[in-house]
């Protein structure tokens, strides 16, 4: 048998395993953060495009000087290569005023609007 002359240099198996655990924990935390950022960015793009649809409807009503209907009106519009369903209606507020309301839904997801905007029509008091 050969005798060991001097101290050996290197890492033990236990040290390697601890380093791997630390690295894998940090990698998992980073992947989770990246995944959340991707989901948030995708949702932000939806909200932005739905906002454009709602603003277009409000601008069209303002330019044509027409009031929104008292009964809910539905329609759809294509924005950003996607189809958006909208609902618009004139709604009475708690203080007996009126607001024009637009709700925009992603196609096929009618349970909750992506965005809902309300604006006081010209001539209405707050």
For the chain, the structural domain boundaries read 13-119
Is residue 23 over pLDDT 90? Answer: yes
CA distances (Å), origin 76, targets 60, 101, 125: 14, 15, 30
Q: Are 115 and 101 in contact (CB under 8 A)?
A: no
Is residue 69 over pLDDT 90? Answer: no
What pLDDT band is residue 93 in, cutting at 50, 70 and 90?
Answer: confident
Mean pLDDT across 31-60: 89
Q: Are 101 and 118 in contact (CB under 8 A)?
A: yes
Helix, coil or strand: residue 111? coil
Taking the C-alpha atoms of residue 80 and residue 59, their distance in angstroms, rounded to an integer, is: 18
The CATH superfamily of 13-119 is: GSPII I/J protein-like (3.30.1300.30)
Taking the C-alpha atoms of residue 102 and residue 58, their distance in angstroms, rounded to an integer, is: 8
Q: How many percent of the chain have pLDDT more than 90?
A: 43
**pLDDT at residue 39, as a whole number:** 82
Our CA angle for 68, 106, 41, nearest 5°, is 120
Q: How many percent of the chain have pLDDT more than 70?
A: 91
Cross-strand pairs, 100: 90, 119
Cross-strand pairs, 83: 78
What pLDDT band is residue 1 in, cutting at 50, 70 and 90?
Answer: low
Q: What is the pTM of this model?
A: 0.64
């Amino acid at each position: 048998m050969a005798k060991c002359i001097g101290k050996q240099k290197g890492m033990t198996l236990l040290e390697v395993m601890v380093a791997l655990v630390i690295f894998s924990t940090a990698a998992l935390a980073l992947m989770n953060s990246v995944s959340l950022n991707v989901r948030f960015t995708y949702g932000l793009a939806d909200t932005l495009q739905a906002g454009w649809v709602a603003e277009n409807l409000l601008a069209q009503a303002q330019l044509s000087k027409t009031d929104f209907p008292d009964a809910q009106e539905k329609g759809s519009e294509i924005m950003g290569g996607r189809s958006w369903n909208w609902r618009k209606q004139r709604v009475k507020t708690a203080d007996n005023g009126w607001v024009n309301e637009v709700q925009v839904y992603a196609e096929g997801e009618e349970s909750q609007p992506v965005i809902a905007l309300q604006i006081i029509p010209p001539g209405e008091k707050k």
